[in-house]
With several copies, the nearest count.
Chain A
Amino acid sequence: MNFEVQLGRTIFPNPVLAASGTFGFGLDFPRVANAIGGIVTKAITVEPRAGNPPPRIYEFPGGIINSVGLENPGLKRFRAEILPRLARLKSRLIVNIAGFSIEEFGLLAESLSSERVDGFEVNVSCPNVAEGGALFGQDPKMVERVTRVVRQQTDKTVIVKLTANFIDPVETAKAALAGGADAVTLINTLFGLALQKDGTPFLGGRTGGISGPAIKHFALFCVDRVARAVAIPVIGCGGIMNGQDALDFISAGARLVQVGTASLRNPYAPLEVWCELRLLCRKNRFKNWADVIGRTGRSS
């Protein structure tokens, strides 16, 4: 069976990617990076960011909450120091870009449209500083504008990473489509608050983002909903720990999947998910991958 997926001009050799922020820049585990469908880098911002004070991670049964706070070396150092080292990876490379204004998104896409980069994942889960700090991703109009600006700056694959916090992702997926995106990723972390026994916030960043198995069924709901309502390829993400989870997202309508939190437990997780997915396909005797994608929606 052929598992290749094309989004924009990029052909992913298989449908399992490493999710943003949970696989560094892909340099630490080249064997994994080269064997899976591709890697999405940690978010890159125009200016370097130190990130949030510790603790940055809270664990609860079935999930974690992180408040890394977009720590990253910034556009310049990423281009000068990290991008050249990424040349030695063969894998598809998607750069996750996070701006605090529409212009910053444009600048990031323009500056990073180098040969090595296959595409961008537009991270709209950051506050729009110019307009009162509401998150870009919670305003369909902003999502469309951001997507359009990125689209104008690059002919690389453009993926918009949507949030499902307090916004119907169908609306933002339509906006991303209108803005010219090649795909959307669903979902980014859910908002979360963890407290210490004395009632004060546990995380240094006060609140954080929930990921892991606890958000899987909400993410599946979102993928199913968007895949049936919007004519844009969906990349599924949220609590994928094994091949069956990946298959669930694909059944629900995802063309590709991303493995996040699982890589924290085991940096080989994306590769293991891909191997297990392939085994499941053999066990289930699937004939045609296209029949599997979105079968949930066609079943009812």
Chain B
Amino acid sequence: MKQLTATVTDVQRLTKDIFSIWLNAAELAQTAKPGQFVNIRVGEGEELLLRRPVSIADVFGQKVRLIFRIVGKGTAWLSQVPKGCGLDLLGPLGRPVRIPKGRDILVCGGGVGAAPLLFLTRRLARQNRVYVVLGAKSRKEMILVREFKRLRVKGYIATNDGSLGWKGTASELAELVANELNRPIVYACGPRPMLQDIVARLPGHEIWGFAEERMGCGTGICHCCALARKDGGYIRLCRDGPVVLLNGVRL
């Protein structure tokens, strides 16, 4: 983990409220692994005291891609950082996902949750058979379809209103796909209800989920990012996660 200033080289609006930015950050690009995140200083002055955690969505050469949805002041500020400006960030943070070999893999992303799965899928696809399910409310809110296609993995798409692909939720579609696979390992990222639904629908599977909780530091020193373990106590999401075996935690 390092504190670094990364120049924004590109800003793109993917949907009404989802933005993608590319950062020039050679060291981060080299060291970051799927499942990790950066913690970004947002705003000027002391109004927004805490950094905002954003997952690493992709890495290309010396560049790192972040994709985020505007939900409040911090992400709104982030969406307005002009090209050429420097971002103050800490990273890479969090525990990298362990990449298996020779397995059937089911990747399931809902909404902006597709973002960190892109980087993960890129690495998983090298030595595994990867099946990707992407879900969104509607065609307009679907992101990264083209990027996933380029990875040459088998892709499935669901929208709640049927405006693109299968009509239904990502987790419903994931259940259908999983049933066709051989003991797949599942990686899921999306809103909490989606993660809960996947756990309910795929009992007995090894399911890794990108969990979220309010963070203080992101570096492990404040113990604010508690996620309840099923066997009692809490883990620190910024250290022991953010990708955790969903079977072992209480969402």
Contacts and interface: CB of A to CB of B under 8 A. Distances in A.
A56 B224 contact: yes
B227 A59 contact: no
B222 interface: yes
Given A51-B234, A55-B214, A59-B49, 9 more contacts: A23-B221, A54-B213, A54-B228, A57-B215, A59-B48, A63-B49, A64-B216, A265-B217, A267-B221
Dominant secondary structure at the A interface: loop
B51 A22 contact: no
A267 B224 CA distance: 15
A246 B41 CA distance: 22
A266 B2 CA distance: 11
B220 interface: yes
Contacts of B215: 57
Contact of A264 (B216, B232, B234): B216
Given A50-B234, A54-B214, A265 B51 contact: yes
Interface of B: 3, 41, 45-51, 90, 213-217, 219-228, 232-234
Given A55-B213, A57-B216, A62 B222 contact: no
A71 B49 contact: no
Given A50-B234, A64-B49, A264 B221 contact: yes
Contacts, number: 102
Given A59-B48, A59-B49, A53 B217 contact: no
Contacts of A115: none
A92 interface: no
Contacts of B228: 53-54
A61 interface: yes
B12 to A, nearest CB: 28
A21 B225 CA distance: 13
A271 B224 CA distance: 22
Contacts of B216: 56-57, 64, 66, 264
Interface in A32-69: 42, 50-59, 61-64, 66, 68
B221 A28 contact: yes
A263 interface: yes
Q: Interface size bucket, A side?
A: 35 or more
A12 B83 CA distance: 45
Interface in A180-229: 204, 212-213
B50 A56 contact: no
Contact of A64 (B50, B219, B223): B50
A204 B216 CA distance: 14
A261 B50 CA distance: 9
A71 B224 CA distance: 10
Given A54-B225, A55-B213, A264 B50 contact: yes
A24 B220 contact: yes
A68 B227 contact: no
B120 to A, nearest CB: 25
A28 B236 CA distance: 14
6 contacts: A22-B222, A56-B226, A204-B226, A213-B49, A241-B46, A264-B221
A51 B216 CA distance: 15
A213 B48 CA distance: 11
A268 B228 CA distance: 29
Nearest to A42: B223
A264 B47 contact: no
A267 B221 CA distance: 8
Contacts of B46: 61-62, 212-213, 241
Contacts of A55: 213-214, 224
Interface in A250-287: 261, 263-268
A267 B226 contact: no
B226 A71 contact: yes
Q: Which of B46, B48, B234 has the most CB of A within 10 A?
A: B46
A263 B221 contact: yes
Nearest to B232: A50
Interface in A82-127: none
Interface in A221-240: none
A61 B50 CA distance: 10
A73 to B, nearest CB: 10
Q: Which of A21, A22, A56, A58 has the most CB of B within 10 A?
A: A56
Contact of A62 (B3, B47, B232, B234): B47
A267 B49 contact: no
A2 to B, nearest CB: 30
Contacts of B222: 21-22, 24, 57, 66, 68, 264
